[in-house]
C-alpha cells in the first residue's frame, strides 16, 4: 500500500517538473525570439540610415527599385495585350468606313474637311462618304453635292439615325419599303452600314426624280410628301445645303456654321413622312405607285 502511494507521488512530481520545464522553455524561446526580432529591426534601421547617408548606395537602391517596378509594369502590359489579342479582329480596320483625305482629289478633300467641321464628325469617315457620293453620282447622273446635302439634312451624317416612322441610316431610307434593295448587301441590317445605305438611298432618289419628272418634285417624293401640298421646308433645306456644298467644292469660302441644318430624323415632318390617307374615289392615277416609292 505504501509502495502505491510512493509511486503516485513520484508520478505527480514528474508531471509537475515536466510542466514547469516546458513552461520555462516556452517563455525562454519567446523572449529569445522577441529579442532577436528587436535586434534584427534595430540592425535594419541602422543599415537603412547608413545606406541613405551614402549617395552611391542610395543610387543603387533606386536602380533596383526602378527595375522591379518596370518588370511589374511590363508583366501587366503583357497581360493586357494578351487580353486584347484574344478579342481583336485583324479585319476590323478593313471594315471601317474611313478614307485618308490624301486619297481624295483636292476638291473632294476640301468639301470633306468642311463637312467634318460643320457637322462635328471625323474627317476620315466623311472622306469615304464624299468619295462614294462622287462615284455613285457619276453612275446615277446626279450631282454628288445633292447626295451629300440629302445626308446632311436627313441625318447630319449619323449612320444610326432613325425617324419616328422607321426611316433609317444616313439617307433615312424606309427599310421596310425598300427591303429588296438591301438584299444585295446582305439584308435589312445593311441599312446601318454607311456605304450600303448611301447606295440604296441613291437608287431611291434616282427613281423618285425619274418618276416625278423634276428634281424638286423628286425630292418631295423622296421625303414622302408626294401627295400633300407642303413638304415642311424639306426641298428648300436640301437645295440650300447643296448650294453651300457646291460653293465649297468650287473653292469658295463658306462659313462652317452658315445656315444651321436640323436633321429630318429628329423632326415630326420630313424624312419618310407618310402621305395622308386619301379616299379611293379621290385618289389620283398612279398614286399607289408613288406611295410605293416613298422611303
Q: What pLDDT, on a 0 to 100 scale, did the predictor assign at position 114?
A: 98
* DSSP notation for 168-200: ETTTTEETTTSGGGGGGGTSGGGGGSHHHHHHH
Q: How far apart are the two ends of the chain, measured CA to CA in Å?
A: 120
- Extract the C-alpha cell encoding 192: 446601318
Q: What pLDDT, on a 0 to 100 scale, did the predictor assign at position 285?
A: 30
Residue-wise pLDDT tens for the chain (295 aa)? 677 666 777 777 777 777 777 777 677 777 766 677 666 666 666 556 565 566 676 667 677 776 766 766 655 655 656 655 556 666 767 788 999 999 999 999 999 999 999 999 999 999 999 999 999 999 999 999 999 999 999 999 999 999 999 999 999 999 999 999 999 999 999 999 999 999 999 999 999 999 999 999 999 999 988 788 888 899 999 999 999 999 999 999 999 998 766 666 654 433 443 333 333 323 333 333 333 444 5
Q: What pLDDT, on a 0 to 100 scale, did the predictor assign at position 267?
A: 47
d(CA 277, CA 50): 95
Annotated domain spans of the chain: 2-87, 101-293
Under DSSP, the state recorded for 180 is G
Fold classification of 101-293 is Lysozyme (1.10.530)
Rounded to two decimals, the pTM is 0.63
Q: Is the separation of the CB atoms in 74 and 105 below 8 Å?
A: no
Q: What pLDDT, on a 0 to 100 scale, did the predictor assign at position 275?
A: 34
Q: What pLDDT, on a 0 to 100 scale, did the predictor assign at position 18?
A: 73
Q: What pLDDT, on a 0 to 100 scale, did the predictor assign at position 269?
A: 38
Amino acid at each position: 500500500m505504501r509502495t502505491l502511494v510512493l509511486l503516485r507521488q513520484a508520478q505527480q512530481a514528474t508531471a509537475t517538473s515536466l510542466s514547469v520545464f516546458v513552461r520555462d522553455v516556452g517563455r525562454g524561446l519567446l523572449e529569445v525570439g522577441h529579442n532577436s526580432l528587436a535586434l534584427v529591426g534595430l540592425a535594419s534601421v541602422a543599415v537603412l540610415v547608413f545606406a541613405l547617408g551614402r549617395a552611391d548606395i542610395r543610387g543603387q537602391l533606386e536602380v533596383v527599385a526602378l527595375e522591379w517596378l518596370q518588370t511589374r509594369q511590363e508583366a501587366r502590359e503583357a497581360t493586357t495585350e494578351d487580353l486584347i489579342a484574344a478579342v481583336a479582329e485583324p479585319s476590323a480596320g478593313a471594315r471601317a468606313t474611313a478614307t485618308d483625305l490624301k486619297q481624295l482629289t483636292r476638291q473632294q478633300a476640301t468639301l470633306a474637311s468642311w463637312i467634318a467641321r460643320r457637322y462635328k464628325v471625323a474627317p476620315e469617315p466623311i472622306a469615304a462618304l464624299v468619295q462614294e457620293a462622287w462615284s455613285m453620282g457619276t453612275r446615277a447622273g446626279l450631282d454628288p453635292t445633292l447626295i451629300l446635302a440629302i445626308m446632311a439634312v436627313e441625318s447630319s451624317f449619323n449612320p444610326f439615325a432613325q425617324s419616328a416612322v422607321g426611316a433609317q441610316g444616313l439617307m433615312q431610307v424606309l427599310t421596310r419599303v425598300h427591303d429588296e434593295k438591301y438584299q444585295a448587301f446582305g439584308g435589312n441590317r445593311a441599312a446601318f452600314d454607311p456605304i450600303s445605305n448611301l447606295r440604296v438611298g441613291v437608287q431611291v432618289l434616282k427613281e423618285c426624280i425619274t418618276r416625278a419628272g423634276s428634281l424638286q418634285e423628286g425630292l418631295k417624293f423622296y421625303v414622302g410628301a408626294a401627295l400633300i401640298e407642303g413638304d415642311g421646308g424639306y426641298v428648300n433645306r436640301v437645295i440650300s445645303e447643296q448650294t453651300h456644298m457646291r460653293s465649297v467644292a468650287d473653292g469658295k469660302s463658306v462659313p462652317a456654321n452658315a445656315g444651321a441644318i436640323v436633321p429630318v430624323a429628329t423632326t415630326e415632318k420630313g424624312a419618310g413622312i407618310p402621305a395622308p390617307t386619301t379616299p379611293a374615289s379621290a385618289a389620283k392615277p398612279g398614286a399607289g405607285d408613288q406611295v410605293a416609292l416613298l422611303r
